[in-house]
């Protein structure tokens, strides 16, 4: 039966699933357009959305930076970024339409006059492109500058909605560097934008495979019954990268692995893995469940025993020799920044009591892989002789977030032959094998959600604060040591202390 939302409009195909998700007219202002994130992710994502027909004709993109660029110079940077990094094929007509709405404002983040110029440019686009006075501001800038920009948006009237239209602000992570600075930043934000207009980006939530966690857990019957401490022995969440900090040392130094990715990406993965079923996936209900489980997370009781940190030394990855962190450009001699962090947390709830969650993240590890692995308890009784099951490990369910996206179930199977010998085997679902569509990039999804004003995939202040509450005691403990983290050779799975940490519990890290 035809859906009457579309009746009367011959251009609308009721079976086109994109329909409800096309953004309305608006201007997207990007601060920090000379940075890597803008070039590699944000600009290509804007183009990909346009190419998929998800941006309206009334769309404008404004870049703001210190460079002495004209509109055309900025447009040609966007063009280069799109040609190099966009996911979807280049189409001249899409680019032409998009580039007509591209503008550049040369200015300083802390100068009032620059914001007046920005306002004039936005006004011009509103008139010319029919963007209806709807404006989103994307802060892809160093965290130390968030407050300056927010205050200036406020002072210049750019955050005000008294002339109609909506205003939204997108904040990149890390949101603060501890609990009190996160509260302070939120305070500044709230003077300029109501909380419903604040979009805190955690790009992991935009990944298809992360959203698949919700599908796997809540659209199926067979997983939920075993998703608790009766069956699960422990959970490991790994985010391994083979790259170093490269040219990003000036951002990374002083932040480190725990603030950079555990406070946000890994704790979000933990929340989605451990939370109870939300009543629905709308923003309120989803966030409520995530907050509930995060508030039950107990920070490591003994940071000396339940955490580990490391810093990569020179070594080999991918067949080439790489320098250590202390040799990277931008590194400060007094640095105690970790490039690897691991911790064990427990969740104080009926479902998870007694099940440790081990989190680890690091750079210059042997390969790039993010996964969530549930390790199950051993069968309470094995009706085999001991030698039959020598090669039987724990059953495991592994959600492969990236790069080989899919799900693996590991269990014991009989080795062919006349004897009973049981060995671990894998059963695999791979995105690439089951679907022909390629997954949209996380930033495509999240940018679209911002333009649509769709908040479920954006953490709220409460989640950010809970994240810091879990991490602050660990960071304080590490700071109290006043020594640099333990070195690990590039291309290995982190410092010895990380292996000792989990071995103390009689377990070992997975080798993905």
Binding positions for ligand BG6, rule: CB under 6 A:
241, 260-261, 370
**Of the two residues 361 and 392, which places its CB atom closer to ligand BG6 in the complex?**
361
Q: Which helix (H) or strand (E) holds 168?
A: strand 167-171
Residue closer to ligand BG6, measured from CB, 71 or 404: 404
Eight-state DSSP code of residue 143: G
Least Å distance between CB 260 and ligand BG6?
A: 5
Of 182, 373, 169, 359, nearest in space to 265 by CA? 359
> Encoding tokens for residue 211?
């959203």
Nearer to ligand BG6, 82 or 255 (CB): 255
Q: DSSP per residue over 182-228, as a string?
A: HHHHHHHHHHHS-GGGEEE--GGGGSHHHHHHHHHHHS-SSSGGGSS
203 is catalytic: no
How many C-beta neighbours within 10 Å does residue 182 have? 21
Which lies closer to ligand BG6 via its Cβ, residue 260 or residue 421? Answer: 260
| Nearest-angstrom CA–CA distance, 293 and 350 | 11
Report the nearest approach of ligand BG6 to the CB of residue 189 (Å).
20
Give whichever of 135 and 311 is closer to ligand BG6, judged by the CB atom: 311
Which of the residues 79, 234, 265, 306 is marked catalytic? 265
- Three-state DSSP class for 175? coil
Nearest distance, CB of residue 254 and ligand BG6, angstroms:
13
508-to-71, 141, 503 alpha-carbon distances in Å: 55, 38, 6
Give the E-state strand segments of 318-435 in sequence order. Answer: 320-322, 340-347, 357-362, 369-376, 396-402, 406-414, 422-430
Rounded to the nearest whole angstrom, what is the least distance from the CB of residue 256 to ligand BG6 in the complex? 10
Exposed e or buried b for every residue in 154-169, given b needs 16+ CB within 10 A?
Answer: bebebbeeeeeebbbb
Give the number of other CB atoms < 10 A from CB of residue 73: 14
Q: How far is the CB of 407 from ligand BG6 (least distance, A)?
A: 18
* Closest by CA position to 328, among listed 251, 272, 248, 268: 248
> In this structure, what are the phi and psi dihedrals at residue 303, rounded to the nearest 5 degrees?
-55, -30
In terms of CB distance, is 62 or 205 closer to ligand BG6? 205
Q: How far is the CB of 227 from ligand BG6 (least distance, A)?
A: 25
> What are the residue numbers of the active site?
265
């Amino acid at each position: 039966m035809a859906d009457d939302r579309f009746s009367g409009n011959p251009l609308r195909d009721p079976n086109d699933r994109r329909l409800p998700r096309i953004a309305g007219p608006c201007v997207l202002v990007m601060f920090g357009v000379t940075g890597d994130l803008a070039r590699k992710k944000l600009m290509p994502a804007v183009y990909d959305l346009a190419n998929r027909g998800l941006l309206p004709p009334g769309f404008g993109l404004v870049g703001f930076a210190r460079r002495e660029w004209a509109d055309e110079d900025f447009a040609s940077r966007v063009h280069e970024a799109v040609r190099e990094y966009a996911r979807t094929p280049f189409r001249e007509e899409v680019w032409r339409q998009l580039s007509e709405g591209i503008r550049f404002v040369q200015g300083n983040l802390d100068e009032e006059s620059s914001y007046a110029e920005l306002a004039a440019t936005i006004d011009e686009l509103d008139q010319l492109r029919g963007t209806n006075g709807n404006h989103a501001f994307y802060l892809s800038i160093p965290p130390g500058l968030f407050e300056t920009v927010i205050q200036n948006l406020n002072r210049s009237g750019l955050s005000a909605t008294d002339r109609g239209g909506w205003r939204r602000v997108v904040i990149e992570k890390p949101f603060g560097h501890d609990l009190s600075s996160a509260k302070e930043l939120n305070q500044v934000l709230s003077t300029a934008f109501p909380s419903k207009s604040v979009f805190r980006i955690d790009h992991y939530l935009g990944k298809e495979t992360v959203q698949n966690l919700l599908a796997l857990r809540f659209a199926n019957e067979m997983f939920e019954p075993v998703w608790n401490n009766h069956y699960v022995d422990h959970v490991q969440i790994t985010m391994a990268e083979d790259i170093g900090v490269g040219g990003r040392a000036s951002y990374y130094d002083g932040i480190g692995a725990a603030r950079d990715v555990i406070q946000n990406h890994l704790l979000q993965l933990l929340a989605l893995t451990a939370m109870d079923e939300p009543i629905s996936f709308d923003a309120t209900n989803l966030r409520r469940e995530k907050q509930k489980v995060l508030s039950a997370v107990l920070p490591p009781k003994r940071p000396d025993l339940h955490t580990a940190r490391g810093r990569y030394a020179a070594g080999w990855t991918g067949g080439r020799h790489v320098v250590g962190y202390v040799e990277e450009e931008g590194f400060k001699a007094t640095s105690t920044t970790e490039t690897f962090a691991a911790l064990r947390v427990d969740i104080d709830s009926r479902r998870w009591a007694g099940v440790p969650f081990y989190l680890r993240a690091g750079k210059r590890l042997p390969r790039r892989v993010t996964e969530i692995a549930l390790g199950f308890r051993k069968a309470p009784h094995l009706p085999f002789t001991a030698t039959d099951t020598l090669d039987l490990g724990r059953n495991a369910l592994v959600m492969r977030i990236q790069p080989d996206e899919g799900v693996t179930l590991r269990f014991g199977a009989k080795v062919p032959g006349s004897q009973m010998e049981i060995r671990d085997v894998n059963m695999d679902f791979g995105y690439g094998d089951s679907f022909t569509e390629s997954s949209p990039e996380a930033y495509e999804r999240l940018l679209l959600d911002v333009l649509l004003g769709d908040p479920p995939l954006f953490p709220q202040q409460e989640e950010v604060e809970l994240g810091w509450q879990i991490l602050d005691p660990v960071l304080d403990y590490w700071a109290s040591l006043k020594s640099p983290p333990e070195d690990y050779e590039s291309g290995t799975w982190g410092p010895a202390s990380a292996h000792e940490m989990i071995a103390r519990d009689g377990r070992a890290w997975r080798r993905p």
